[in-house]
Amino acid sequence: MPRRFFNLYARILFWLLVNVVVLGGGFWIVLQWQFREGMQGALGGIVGDRLQSIGREIHATLNTSKRADWDRVLKDFGQKNGVQAALITVPSRLIAGMKVEMPEPMERLLADMFPELNRRPTRGDNADGNRPPPRHSLPHEEFEALIFGDDFPSGRGPPHGPDDEPRFDELNSSMPVKLGTFMLPVGTPPVYYTGIRLPTLPSWNRREGPLIFVIVTDRITGGGLFFDATPWLLGLFGAMAVSALLWLPFVSNITGSIRANMQATEQIAKGQFNVRVPENRSDELGRLAHAVNSMAVQIDGIVRGQKRFLGDIAHELCSPIARMEMSLGILEDKLTDSDAIRLADVREELRQISLLVNELLSFSKSSLGQAAKPPEDVVLLALVDEVAGTEAVPAQHLRINLPRDLIVRAVPDLLRRAVSNVLRNARLHAPESDIEVSATRRGESVILIIADHGQGVPEDSLPRLFDPFYRVDTSRDRQTGGTGLGLAIVKTCIDTCGGSVTARNREPYGLMIEIELPRA
């Protein structure tokens, strides 16, 4: 039988855990993919909303702080959230916060966002390089859309032509409806540069350029600043935990029914046909339980019928055998010496038939005639001493090592017959060997061991030793003797007592019979 590392219950729970891990891994892959798509993905929308909130908070803080305190405010923000925070203007001039090295992709992005700040002065510009005010100024929201590519609230497209470009000094200081944001991964492993376009501040000269709040981090979620995956993971595992709690009764119910059917079939395989499985289910497992019970009843009837048939045959053979023995006794007085020798051979054959019949009767009665007797408390040492005396086992070849207070639950007559047959079998097949009788406690059972130092039996014959009429030596002559029912009677007696019996070879040689009985 292959070794079982996990039962069915453990396997189902294991696959439930695998399901959780796979879902968590899938969630992380989706998270990575969404951020690789930038701010356009579904999670990017969540990050964009979070950046909008961060921009409004930092704008409100800077708005109520002096310009000399901006550097402290931004550094405190970076230390609190584990990121680098800085306030810059185009192209990459640091205004406040930590000094951030702007990579070339970041500078190109800012240059593309604000091309008018990188344009050389042309005719028509003022002396300071700024262009004159446009003929038609844009609303504030539309200017934000022009810079960051957002949709235009008014439904108009961006202005066309160089003369329609707005100036930064025309932006009012009110908070816009939507701030412009971007996220740029740079390098491998990526470093994430996040920018938030801030409205102008009272202490900031609008002519110096736009204000951009930059956050630099090596984590895609900003350590929970942009996107906090903890609630999502807690929700995922919480949902799986609730699902597991809902599944546990169902799994326990199924595995319990399967376990009951498995235990019943194992008992049937051992020859105990009185086991029954509860039939309290209406599904396939309930039908399986009903089939197992029906099978047990039918097999029990067949086995009992066979044993009863053998008993009836043996009983019917007893009368003609007795009459034949009586007739041989009458003939013996009337025969000559040479005929008496032939008569002795016939009488020996008749004795073998009588022995076989008696064994068949014992085999039948061991499970049929004694099954109704209830088990009793039996002192094991006293019973073994009694059986050893009955079988006339020589004291020099018998070693008994049993505690005096060891008591088992068994039918005394059946246990006595089983121990007697084992001792007789050991004397028959290992006549010059010592026979050792010992016992050990194992939980709620007692293991009675009867071992000899004979030749043992082949390993492939061990499972069949307790089958009726099975013999390792197939030559059924009088030297090897036996009918092949001795150990079969032992198994029937022990099974009727509620125990079990097994055989195995001992090292370096010999045979060991282990009888397991319930403790008293």
Q: What is the pLDDT of residues 218-251, one digit of tens each?
A: 887 787 787 777 777 787 778 778 877 877 787 7
Give the number of other Cβ atoms within 10 Å of residue 177's Cβ. Answer: 10
CATH 1.10.8 matches 37-120+133-156+166-227:
no
pLDDT surpasses 50 at 420: yes
Specify the pLDDT at position 138: 38
CATH class of 300-365: mainly alpha
| pLDDT confidence bin for 154, thresholds 50/70/90 | very low
- Supply the CATH classification number for the domain 373-518: 3.30.565.10
Q: What is the pLDDT of residues 361-373, one digit of tens each?
A: 777 666 655 555 7
Task: Choose among 106, 113, 110, 92: nearest CA to 186.
Answer: 106
What ranges in 391-509 are assigned the alpha helix state H?
412-429, 486-496
Q: What is the pLDDT of residues 46-71, one digit of tens each?
A: 777 888 889 899 999 998 988 889 99
What percent of the chain shows pLDDT beyond 90?
15
Q: What is the pLDDT of residues 473-507, one digit of tens each?
A: 654 454 555 667 788 888 888 888 888 899 999 88
Specify the pLDDT at position 513: 93
CB contact burial 94-118 (16+ within 10 A = b; e otherwise): ebbbbebebbeebeebbeebbeeee
Q: What is the pLDDT of residues 105-129, one digit of tens each?
A: 888 888 887 776 655 444 444 444 4
CA dihedral defined by 169, 172, 173, 177, rounded to 10 degrees? -130
Q: Quick check: do 37-120+133-156+166-227 and 373-518 share a fold? A: no
Better pLDDT: 46 or 147: 46
Q: Tell me how far apart the alpha carbons of residues 239 and 236 are, in angstroms, rounded to a whole number.
A: 5
How would DSSP label each residue in 239-252? HHHHHHHHHHHHHH
Specify the pLDDT at position 215: 92
Domain ranges of the chain: 37-120+133-156+166-227, 300-365, 373-518
Omega within 30 of 0 (cis) for the link into 508: yes
Task: Choose among 256, 226, 171: nearest CA to 44.
Answer: 226
pLDDT surpasses 50 at 131: no
pLDDT surpasses 70 at 135: no
pLDDT surpasses 90 at 323: no
